[in-house]
Structure 1
Amino acid sequence: MSAFNAQSIQWDADLIEKYNVQGPRYTSYPTAAQFHDISAAVASEHYHRQAASEAPLSLYVHIPFCRHLCYYCGCNKVAAKSRSRGDEYLAWLEREMALMSHNFGQRPITQLHLGGGTPTFLTVDQMRQLLDRLSIYFDWNPAHFPGEYSIELDPRETSADMLELLHQRGFNRLSFGIQDFNHQTQVAIHRIQPKSVVEPLVQQARHLAFESISFDLIYGLPYQTVNRFDATLDEVLELAPDRISLYNYAHLPDRFVAQRRISSDSLPAADEKLRILQHCIITLQKAGYVYIGMDHFAKRDDRLVSALADGSLQRNFQGYSTQAETDMLALGVSGISQVQGAFIQNHSQLDPFYAALKQGTLPVQRGYFLTRDDQMRRDIINQLACQGQIDLGAVAKRFGLDANQDFKREWQQLLELEQDGLVRLKQHHITVTALGRLLLRPILMVFDAYLSTDNRQRYSRVM
């Protein structure tokens, strides 16, 4: 069962200042920082060993193209004006499907997510072709296997016909990239999409009876203030999405070239940024949204909330999920598969991705095979992130360890967190408090064996 519930989270400015450090989001453990070069042969051999399994799969498909370059974005994307780029990409993607289907084609798909870039860069006909191919090479049949079938949508590039097609083909969850409705902010980040563009799409999605509509928002963008973002929240709440993801903008122009087009002087100061976050949390909770954890909110009748309460909540590369833990297969440039103790990532650039497929090999670039210690720490981090409690004694016994000796370093750090009210400790049992839920990432970082002061610079701050 979960220690988390629908209670309001607590805000403590002093503790937030103390623990607002840089660290991972833990959609995986170990994080991608530990990945190293591996060969397609090594990946193929690992996948072949899974061929006999009939366990369900989660499938992710990455469409890297965007017609408009959003300056804030840190995703793997390719700016492209011509839709013909989609035809070329889908042709090579089919080759990857054919290679992967040898080992995974018989396993039912119970979770599918299309991300990017923006999948709606594709035309309706191209999207239909993609979905047809997925049905040919994989056991994807939403009518037979109820699950989560979702897609990220750019409202500027999404048509009524696209929504109709997605609904017909079994998609039940839509995620709209909103970020902010303020016009000055939209101009500064090169993403102009007023509420008048989004609202008709949301209305049609409601009419088609999609199960869930999610909005992505970002705080810390140019020209944002509490009052200005409050106006965005008003418009968001009028549209009443089922889920809201509220992300912290990490300004890292040295890593992401497009962010150099955003003036640092236009960004809200650190204290104003935190006030925006605090106001968002208060406003969303008053509006009836439940804090799921690490940026995610949902209405009380949403399946995420029931999964949070009954302890079945999961976490993967797409964030929180209601699906039971499954192997995740990723298709497309930069996609990361997570299959039985291994992370395997495709080439992040199109040319080597295409070149590998032309040679008839998997387009693999990097990966990581988990050690027994990694598996233990992954289980601890996931359980704390999703259930808010764990018995380290039980974990130690399962892995043949001594909780007193083998978690001695971690327990000393947890004692400080307990003094600050982020966790409660009893014997070997850890429970995250209401205050600790907002500062969950620093709690999880206690169990990260790879985290050092030096490599934290690659991550965003907790808030």
Structure 2
Amino acid sequence: MSGIDFKKLSKFSRHAPRYTSYPTAVEFRDLTPEDIIDELKSDKPLSLYFHLPFCRSACYFCGCNVVYTSKADKRRRYIDYLKRELDIWAKYLDTSRMVRQLHFGGGTPTFFTPEELEEIYEIIYSHFKNFEDDAEISVEIDPRFFSQKHMDVMRKYGVNRISFGVQDFNEETQKAVNRIQPFDLTKEAVDIARAAGIDSINVDLIYGLPFQTLETFKKTLELVKELDPDRLAVFNYAHVPWLKKGMRKIDETTLPSPEEKLKIFKYVIDFFENNGYKMVGMDHFAKPDDELFKAIEKGELHRNFQGYTTKGGADLIGFGLTSISETENAYFQNYKDLKNYEKAIDEGKLPTFRGVILNEEDKIRKYVIMEMMANFSFDIKRFEEKFGIDFFKKFENEIKELQEFVDEGLVEITPEKISVNKTGTLLIRNIVLPFDEYFKKMKNQKVFSKSI
């Protein structure tokens, strides 16, 4: 079966940060656009992220930065400001650099009309003209807001990956989280994408939502099997109502118990592995011929703000409200409210308001954490050659803190390598914590969730 020791998984499932592509928070601070100008001077490929933040109504489980509206004029206004933002970026960023990725996230990107999406693509392609032959052009889609016309526009502009939000097909759960999405509607959306030649389709699921039980989720999985996605992301619902007001509308008494969640997750792993998928990391599954799975076998998988990716080695530049950018030496973020975002652009400035310039220690620790997060192993000799540092001498205390995982057989440490076994991959956020110098400063703050 799965080969996972669920007793150990339960024992070590502790609160931990939700790492994406940076160690916990690296203490973001106020930055001016002038602070990041030097970070934009590079010849590395680009990964472009465009945040289209609008949704018609709230899904109560959502942890994204979203603007809820049904007004067309707000979408129109946002497009205008996005165009002006790109014009400002073009003063500082060499837009002739090769583009490795282009991703639309939300919100609900297809809440924009097909005509509006086409206008956004035209704006982007008027600035960025050089794309790698195998560039990844992807979109996150809510099947409730998707049509053949949307698909026609996407194919015209090179979209080759689509991620559909599903979460759960159980009607009682859908009502509780304010997201009614029948299976037939979702299947129609997937069929449109397949007919258009999209051969990389991802489906997002969430376990831990209201009224979910092992039996109800089994039915959802059977329906997902009919969709035949190439990849799946199965996320643990993090209930953080102190951070996300929408979650306060969820009745906590309807959430499954930790024991039930563990049963669901165990079944999920067995179900997908028995149906031709391989587990990739702590929350993804892929068919064996998918490049995501091939990358982890080669130790070449990466993580960024969109999750696991095979497209590493690029500067990530985010556009639009709340977008986060990542360069080799920095992270920086756009304003999180429309008023300040628009004000900065009206003044002809980049709408950047906070971030961090990494020091050498940050970069060393980031390297360790992200290598282990992405590939679940760490090449010690390669680290020492890269940084000119004796790994065991520098991280003597951290190695001691890993000993409890070593004693349980979850981690193996040799002079050449740190390896994490299959059970350990599901606890990787906890395993990397000793290397995160910011965690001890933040651990008393209510910002973390259980691993499982």
Q: What is the TM-score when the length of structure 2 is the normalising length? A: 0.96
- Matched residue type, 1:163: M
Q: Which residue does the alignment assign to 1:19? A: 12
Q: Which residue does the alignment assign to 1:176? A: 164
Q: Secondary structure at the match of 2:222?
A: helix
Q: Which residue does the alignment assign to 2:127? A: 137
Q: 1:158 to 1:189 in 2, by over 3 A?
A: same
What's the offset of the Cα at 1:393?
A: 4.7
Q: 1:262 to 1:439 in 2, by over 3 A?
A: same
After TM superposition, list the pairs within 5 Å mapping 1:413-424 onto structure 2: 413-424=401-412
Q: Which residue does the alignment assign to 2:148? A: 160
Q: Which residue does the alignment assign to 1:202? A: 190
Q: Which residue does the alignment assign to 2:71? A: 82
Q: Which moved more, 1:184-193 or 1:388-397?
A: 388-397
Aligned partners of 2:24 and 2:439 also within 8 Å: no
After TM superposition, list the pairs within 5 Å mapping 1:25-424 onto structure 2: 25-32=18-25, 34-47=27-40, 50=41, 53-102=42-91, 103-141=93-131, 145-424=133-412
Provide structure 1 residue ranges, at least 5 long, that are not aligned to the other structure.
1-7
What's the offset of the Cα at 1:322?
A: 1.2
Q: Which moved more, 1:19-28 or 1:146-155?
A: 19-28
Q: 1:91 to 1:32 in 2, by over 3 A?
A: farther
Q: 1:277 to 1:295 in 2, by over 3 A?
A: same
Whole-Å separation in 2 of the counterparts to 1:19 and 1:390: 21
What's the offset of the Cα at 1:325?
A: 1.8
Aligned partners of 1:184 and 1:223 also within 8 Å: yes
Whole-Å separation in 2 of the counterparts to 1:312 and 1:362: 33
Q: Which residue does the alignment assign to 1:5? A: none
Aligned partners of 1:23 and 1:456 also within 8 Å: no
- Matched residue type, 2:54: F
What's the offset of the Cα at 1:33?
A: 5.8
Whole-Å separation in 1 of the counterparts to 2:142 and 2:88: 30
Whole-Å separation in 2 of the counterparts to 1:139 and 1:338: 21
- Matched residue type, 1:415: Q
What's the offset of the Cα at 1:344?
A: 0.9
Aligned partners of 1:181 and 1:194 also within 8 Å: yes
What's the offset of the Cα at 1:455?
A: 4.5
What's the offset of the Cα at 1:45?
A: 4.4
What's the offset of the Cα at 1:397?
A: 4.9
- Matched residue type, 1:391: D
- Matched residue type, 1:28: S
Aligned partners of 1:76 and 1:334 also within 8 Å: yes
Match of 2:451 among 416, 437, 462: 462
Deviations 1:151-186 (A, max 9, x none): 000111111110111012100000000000000100
Q: Which moved more, 1:385-394 or 1:61-70?
A: 385-394
Whole-Å separation in 1 of the counterparts to 2:102 and 2:419: 32
Aligned partners of 1:29 and 1:374 also within 8 Å: no
Whole-Å separation in 1 of the counterparts to 2:13 and 2:276: 27
Whole-Å separation in 1 of the counterparts to 2:241 and 2:78: 28
Whole-Å separation in 2 of the counterparts to 1:404 and 1:160: 56
- Matched residue type, 2:356: Y
What's the offset of the Cα at 1:140?
A: 4.9
Whole-Å separation in 2 of the counterparts to 1:362 and 1:302: 38
Whole-Å separation in 1 of the counterparts to 2:213 and 2:156: 41
Q: Which moved more, 1:325-334 or 1:101-110?
A: 101-110
Whole-Å separation in 1 of the counterparts to 2:282 and 2:448: 15
What's the offset of the Cα at 1:15?
A: 1.6
Aligned partners of 2:9 and 2:423 also within 8 Å: no
Whole-Å separation in 2 of the counterparts to 1:259 and 1:434: 32
What's the offset of the Cα at 1:456?
A: 6.0
Provide structure 2 residue ranges, at least 5 long, that are not aligned to the other structure.
none
Q: 1:324 to 1:291 in 2, by over 3 A?
A: same
Whole-Å separation in 2 of the counterparts to 1:193 and 1:149: 25
Q: Secondary structure at the match of 2:90?
A: helix
Whole-Å separation in 2 of the counterparts to 1:448 and 1:45: 27
Q: What is the TM-score when the length of structure 1 is the normalising length? A: 0.94
Q: Secondary structure at the match of 1:28?
A: coil
Whole-Å separation in 1 of the counterparts to 2:435 and 2:347: 41
- Matched residue type, 1:106: S
What's the offset of the Cα at 1:438?
A: 2.0
Whole-Å separation in 2 of the counterparts to 1:250 and 1:388: 23
Aligned partners of 1:66 and 1:77 also within 8 Å: yes
CA RMSD of aligned residues (A): 1.6
Aligned partners of 2:26 and 2:356 also within 8 Å: no
Q: Which moved more, 1:112-121 or 1:426-435?
A: 426-435
Whole-Å separation in 2 of the counterparts to 1:76 and 1:434: 33
Aligned partners of 2:26 and 2:362 also within 8 Å: no
Q: Secondary structure at the match of 1:446?
A: helix
Aligned partners of 2:53 and 2:321 also within 8 Å: yes
- Matched residue type, 1:37: D
Give structure 1 regions of 4+ aligned residues with deviation exceeding 4 angstroms: none
Whole-Å separation in 2 of the counterparts to 1:145 and 1:358: 36
- Matched residue type, 1:80: T
Aligned partners of 1:291 and 1:298 also within 8 Å: yes
- Matched residue type, 1:66: C
Whole-Å separation in 2 of the counterparts to 1:402 and 1:233: 47
What's the offset of the Cα at 1:251?
A: 1.0
Aligned partners of 2:96 and 2:130 also within 8 Å: no
- Matched residue type, 2:77: E
Identity %: 38
Deviations 1:35-77 (A, max 9, x none): 1111122123433xx1xx3321000000111012111111000
